[in-house]
Amino acid sequence: MVASEALPLAKTGGLADVMGALPAALRALGNEVAVVIPRYGFIDLKDLRRVWDNAPVYLGLARYDTSIYLYPAAFPIYLIDCPRLFDRPGLYGEAGVDYPDNHIRFAVFARAALSVARWLFRADVLHCHDWQTGLVPVYLRTILSTDPTFLGTKTLFTIHNLGYRGLFPPAALVDAAIDASLYRPEGLEFFGQVSYLKGGIVYADALSTVSPTYAREIQTPEFGWGLDGVLRARAPVLHGILNGVDYAEWSPETDPYIPVRYSADDLSGKSVCKQELLAEYGLPSHAISEPLIGIVSRLAWQKGTELIAQVAGEIVDMGMYLAALGSGEPEYEDWFRRLAAEYPDRIAVRIGFDNATAHRIEAGADLFLMPSRYEPAGLNQMYSLKYGTVPVVRATGGLNDTIEESTGFKFAEYSANALLAALQAAVVAFSDRAAWESMMRRGMQQDFSWGRSAAAYSALYRQLTA
């Protein structure tokens, strides 16, 4: 597996969670799995073992000196060390601005990852994730097409979020040592730019994305980000495999971050967690009897943040409370700060991210709100089910695949009115305590563990190599 981040070493989003959990689930099914990521500057070398001293990468006349380290985990994690390119504070940029040489950074990473597959871990399948690895299939099908090391090697390219397309000026092809003939609509050209994501889509042997609904959605103009035509052309090899949840990390029965543990058989601890969350967020103690909405989110256009701002007054009028945790685009952070200032006894917000607080929100809230414009898979709605925190979600992508009418509330149209209707239905349901607890228990009994997803990937690998 080739990816730009993986737990426990580097994380900006859900990709890292996948790379931390899926390999272990695959190994449990008898697959041999290794992961390759960059060695970013914040990853301490003292935790790593150097396994290859000198692995230079040549992109045309340019030479980039790299070496390879190994992190001792349940499965091998190889790290490509190239201080010139990756010894920086951020993964992809700083202060919201991408590094200007990202096209070179991840071209070097792609070539160095292939060196791992050549010397250290000979693979039947190279499973590549998102635009940062899109050049791996491109190099295999072009520069390395006659290399005997990779004869018979298959590639699977997984799209975690089509909105991030890895776009660069046409000159990026020269820097990445890719033949100019690939700058065409059937290759890497994308409306006057180069797209590394499109390279993965066009040149990989098979494609996957992180939920069945999202696999269908990205083939439409509404969700396709200009790549829907390419994806429709590759539809026969496009698979929707739902992401899983690591229940060792996310379960109220074992969670070390929550004040009291509880289960579907004994829900008594849930109210204690709610009391503690209200106190932690400075909300009134009498809110214990009213519905409390939890939000843990990146504050961004994709996440439907403005819908929440539009209905905040109505949320308060319905007698609901809200505890939010998140960070993201400054505009949306400011919206949430204003909401907390306008409704200080009803809405409490923390800008930033803290894993322990995220766990306490999942355990203490009655409802979890995810009104996303689009959501390839989503994880928090699956965490919420396990914690008996009933999700209110837009019926898109993985949210649609994981939430049913018996376990949560869904709305289809992306509008404030549709969101309000779903929240009103939730308030009515909350008033019937027995029925509400039945809904909580149904959600807690759902199984979205990685075993099911790993079985689907394992079958796809065998199909590719048959």
**Contacts of the segment 380-383: beta carbons below 8 A, 24+ positions apart:** 380/296, 380/297, 381/408, 382/245, 382/250, 382/446, 382/448, 383/245, 383/250
pLDDT band at 14 (very low <50, low <70, confident <90, very high): confident
pLDDT in tens, 394-453: 999 999 999 999 999 999 999 999 999 999 999 999 999 999 999 999 999 999 999 999
Give the helix ranges, DSSP H, for 352-449: 355-364, 380-386, 397-402, 416-430, 433-444
Is the pLDDT at 210 greater than 90? The verdict is yes
Is the pLDDT at 13 greater than 90? The verdict is no
Mean predicted confidence (pLDDT) in 204-225: 97
CB 224 within 8 A of CB 237: no
Mean predicted confidence (pLDDT) in 342-354: 94
Task: Return the beta strands (E) in 193-346 as ranges.
Answer: 193-195, 206-209, 238-240, 292-299, 321-328
pLDDT score, position 300 = 87
Q: How far apart are the first and last CA of the chain?
A: 19
CA dist list (Å): 447 to 84, 369, 391: 44, 20, 15
pLDDT in tens, 323-344: 999 988 889 999 999 999 999 9
Antiparallel, parallel or unpaired: β 292-299 and 321-328: parallel
Antiparallel, parallel or unpaired: β 206-209 and 97-98: unpaired
pLDDT in tens, 95-151: 879 999 999 999 999 999 999 999 999 999 999 999 999 999 999 999 999 999 999
**Contacts of the segment 330-339: beta carbons below 8 A, 24+ positions apart:** 332/299, 332/300, 332/301, 332/305, 332/306, 333/299, 335/299, 335/305, 335/306, 335/309, 336/299, 336/305, 336/309, 339/309, 339/312
Is the pLDDT at 161 greater than 90? The verdict is yes
pLDDT score, position 36 = 98
pLDDT score, position 457 = 98
Is the pLDDT at 32 greater than 90? The verdict is yes
pTM of the full structure: 0.91
pLDDT in tens, 289-300: 999 999 999 888
CA dist list (Å): 436 to 47, 149, 371, 446: 47, 58, 21, 16
pLDDT score, position 369 = 98
The helix/strand/coil state of 415 is: coil
Q: DSSP assignment, residue 193?
A: E
pLDDT in tens, 51-102: 999 999 999 999 999 999 999 888 999 999 999 999 999 999 988 799 999 9
Residues ≥6 apart with Cβ < 8 Å to 132:
3, 4, 106, 109, 166, 196
pLDDT in tens, 219-257: 999 999 999 999 999 999 999 999 999 899 999 999 999
CA dist list (Å): 249 to 15, 172, 375, 380, 383: 16, 40, 22, 12, 10
